[in-house]
């Protein structure tokens, strides 16, 4: 069975708080309530489908790619 995946990078807490505050202001000012519901992140790869039996392979590939990278925080 195919599952939907997307690859994102979570932002450091201080930046997430700033983004949340900005989203809150925008939601109040422009009546777009859905903005404040999602956490702050940036998308590395848009949504895609993959067989769920290959999830381990996907996880290992992402682990290999990111090994040695520094944290954003």
User: What pLDDT score was predicted for residue 58?
Assistant: 93
Inter-residue contact 4 to 49 (CB < 8 Å): yes
Question: What average pLDDT score do residues 16-27 get?
Answer: 88
- Assigned token pair, 71: 């944290």
pTM of the model: 0.64
Please provide the average confidence, as pLDDT, over all residues in the chain: 88
For 13-68, give the DSSP string.
Answer: HHHHHHHHHHHHHHHHHH--GGGGGSPPEEEEEEEEEEEGGGHHHHHHHHHHHHTT
Cα gap 61→59, rounded to integer Å: 5
């Amino acid at each position: 069975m195919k599952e939907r995946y997307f690859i994102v990078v979570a932002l450091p807490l201080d930046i997430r708080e700033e983004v949340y505050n900005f989203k809150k202001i925008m939601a109040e000012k422009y009546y777009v309530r859905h903005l404040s519901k999602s956490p702050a992140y940036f998308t590395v790869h848009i949504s895609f489908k993959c067989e769920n039996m290959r999830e381990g392979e996907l996880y290992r590939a992402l682990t290999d790619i990111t090994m040695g990278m520094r944290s954003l925080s």
